[in-house]
Amino acid sequence: MDTCRTPVNASKCSGNTMECFMVLSTQAQKISIGILCGLFGTMCVFENSLVLYLIFSSPGIRKKPSYLFIGSLALADILASIIFVCSFVNFHVFNEAGFSKEVFLLQLGGVNTSFSASLSSLLLTALDRYISISRPSEYKLLMTRKRAWTALAVLWVTCATIACLPLLGWNCCVLDSSCSELFPFVDDNYLSGWLCFTVVLLGCIIYAYAHVLWRARQHVAYMEKHQAQVGKQNTRMRMDVMLAKTLVMVLAVLVLCWSPVLVLMTYSIFARLSDRLRKVFAFCSTLCLLNSMVNPIIYALRSKELFSSLRRVFSHFRRQLKAAEESPEAESTHKSSVIET
């Protein structure tokens, strides 16, 4: 009997069974996956690196907790893209299976940490927007930079701990339990727990943003009725409403890109997956790179502060290019005048 068709259990923990998870059977499928990963991954790293540069190169922007959380999201997307592309392409395209169980679980832990940190950063941003809109007069006292950095530190440590549990011993080889059909060495119970953790995060984010949008609509209605009282407070309310809508767009893209993957993961726990569905899962996994690539574009189009900072960077870059082009001409003119003299 073909070992790749037998039930996935603890007996399939040896290195040669890694080939059973290499579901791309044709060269066209491998080339397609390689192109998608290369394109999305490269654009994702470039765009999110630019977002980090815009945030931390501007003193006015990096002091705001909202943009610290967005910076955490961009960093998580960069790490997820690099680790995911390297491990995914190496495994499914080049069919490298010579690494150990520990190395594979370490790579998987890196991807899970980055994705969980990305999702948790969105949750912190949702809470930040909720406080800003619901309690604007107390916002600066409640949301300080110190508290923001502390929350980010707790976030990353928690996500890394949860993601590294299989590496620390919660895997089907050590526990002699049933393994996942989608990930080598991963215990089905751990996958169920990770999915529950992810769904809870998504639920909290959706609830927070629903409340934010409800309060934002109240603020908009209030401002329309009191046009004569336009001032600094109303201007800040408009900025909060704009940022809240921007982050809802980010959340919508996140749900659309990750829903197919999460649905297939959930289905694999309760039923057997066909080879066709496993191939679909491999292609759907690349949508996470698309999500990470789209987020910075949304920031640039919706955030006036980031867009203004981006324009200043491009203006400075154009001035440098212009100065570099004019410098040789000026030097040549100077030398000609000296010779004539």
Tell me the pLDDT tens digit for each residue of 86-133.
888 888 888 776 677 888 899 899 999 998 998 898 889 888 888 887
**At how many degrees (to 10) do helices 188-225 and 232-270 cross?**
160
Residue 218 has pLDDT above 60, yes or no: yes
Average pLDDT over residues 17-30: 81
Q: Say yes or no to pLDDT of 335 above 50.
A: no
Position 6 scores a pLDDT of: 42
Q: Is residue 242 part of a domain?
A: yes
Q: Mean of the per-residue pLDDT values for the chain?
A: 80
Which pLDDT score, from 0 to 100, does residue 129 have? 82
Considering the domain boundaries, does residue 200 fall inside one? yes
Residues 38 and 85 sit within 8 Å (Cβ to Cβ) = yes
Element (H, E) at 302: helix 287-302
As for how many domains the chain has, the answer is 1
pLDDT confidence of residue 325 = 73
Question: How far apart are the C-alpha atoms of 274 and 324, rounded to whole Å?
Answer: 60
d(CA 112, CA 168): 14
pLDDT band at 49 (very low <50, low <70, confident <90, very high): very high
Let me know: does 193 contact 26? Beta carbons within 8 Å.
no
- The pLDDT of residue 160 is 94
CA distances from 226 to 150, 222, 231, 237, 245 (A): 39, 6, 11, 13, 22
- 263 inside domain: yes
* Tens digit of each residue's pLDDT (9 = 90 or more) over 227-277: 545 555 555 556 556 666 776 777 788 788 888 988 999 998 888 888 888
- Residue 339 scores a pLDDT above 90: no
Q: What is the mean pLDDT of residues 291-318?
A: 81
Q: Any idea what the CATH number is for the domain that residue 288 is in?
A: 1.20.1070.10
Residue 245 included in any domain: yes
In a domain, 130, yes or no: yes
Q: Are 125 and 73 in contact (CB under 8 A)?
A: yes
Does position 167 have pLDDT exceeding 60, yes or no? yes
Pair of tokens at residue 293? 């690539």
Q: Is residue 335 part of a domain?
A: no
d(CA 294, CA 257): 10
**What mean pLDDT comes out for the span 319-331?**
68
* pLDDT for res 155: 93
Q: For residues 67-100, b (16+ Cβ closer than 10 Å) or e, as one string?
A: bbbbbbbbbbbbbbbbbbbebbbebbbeeebeee
Asked if the model's pLDDT at residue 197 lies above 80, the reply is yes
**Among 171-180, 202-211, 239-248, the least confident range:** 239-248
Mean pLDDT of 167-195: 88
CA distance linking residue 226 with residue 68, whole number of Å:
33
pLDDT in tens, 142-162: 888 999 999 999 999 999 999
The confidence score (pLDDT) of residue 337 equals 44
Read off the amino acid at residue 269: I
Judge whether 310 lies within some domain. Answer: no
324 belongs to a structural domain:
no
Instruction: Give the three-class secondary structure for 267.
Output: helix
- Per the structure, the complete domain to which residue 114 belongs is given by 23-304
CA distance 61 to 305: 7
